[in-house]
Structure 1
Amino acid sequence: MEHSEKAVEVLNDLIKIHNDRIAGYERATIETENTDLKSLFTNFIGNSHQFKLALATEVQTYAKDIENTTSSSGDLHRAWINVKAFFTGHSSKSVLEECEFGEDATQKAYKSALEEEHLPAYIKEILIEQQVTLKTVHDQVKALRDAERLES
């Protein structure tokens, strides 16, 4: 496979991850009654839109089509769409547990993408910047989930 083809494939996979992430957090904002969490999740949706745009811009430089779907069923990252039977009990704890699961999947996807040897250095730099922000989000969601466990 040509290097540019592989780069487009990796970028489109990450675009799918962000589509899943957006759908997951949109679902989470509906399922939670906690206004602070709704606000936080809305910010995370904004991050994914921003990251997706940056990735799509790079795909366009290769004159390729941008993937505008979510990941296929059976893909680990599909968990954002099939969130644990509508967040069992709709508690903040269960919503945060599912969000953390989605963030874990996002971290794995970025780690895998960055291990791809055929990506140009400038694209890896973009991915590393996004990964840093996403790691912060992951840690924030995990801390909130842990706090909910203590309160339960």
Structure 2
Amino acid sequence: MITNKEIVDDLNDLVKINNDRMQGYEKAIEDNEDPQLDDLFRHYVIQSQNFRSQLAEHIVRIDGLAVSDVTSTDTTSKLHRAWIDIKSALTGKDRDSVLSSVEFGESAAVEAYEDAIENDKIPAYIKEDLEKQLTELKVSHAKIKSMAA
């Protein structure tokens, strides 16, 4: 039987993933020279802020402590490694390399959410919100992927 602490830990991992995603997009905005991409990337920063807030509400509701620090990231997460790769890859600043790097990070975010949703012990009402967030992430991923092609 899964405990509330295990659920909180799983949800906090997703909070950290969203923190990583926000930092990755903020870095992409700094290093990018295309205003159209900047607007899109800002939208995705806000999207992750909203996801993080929703996750934190679930964590508090089940008596857990949410990771609230925007800079708190999970150095063991696949996504964190993906966004670190993005940060180092964004030295070229050209549109294709920025989009390719961001697409890699989006792919990792989708995978992390899919892994979390597969956990049968997460309550249905939380899983429903995770599935909604995953749907939005998949749309974001597809948009970035189509722009990178």
TM-score (ref. length: structure 1): 0.90
Whole-Å Cα distance in 1 between the matches of residues 77 and 136 of structure 2?
A: 23
State the match for 1:108 in structure 2.
111
State the match for 1:95 in structure 2.
98
Contact 1:17 1:106 in 2 (8 A): yes
State the match for 1:24 in structure 2.
24
State the match for 1:52 in structure 2.
52
* Superposed CA RMSD: 1.4
* Cα shift readout 1:41-97 (whole Å, capped 9, x = no counterpart): 00000000001000000001122211231111x532112134252414111111111
State the match for 1:71 in structure 2.
74
The reply on whether 1:33 has 2:33 as its aligned counterpart is yes
State the match for 1:123 in structure 2.
126
Whole-Å Cα distance in 2 between the matches of residues 145 and 125 of structure 1?
A: 30
TM-score (ref. length: structure 2): 0.92
DSSP-derived class of the 1:89 partner: coil
Whole-Å Cα distance in 2 between the matches of residues 17 and 140 of structure 1?
A: 19
Contact 2:89 2:101 in 1 (8 A): no
State the match for 1:142 in structure 2.
145
Structure 2 unaligned blocks of 5 or more: none
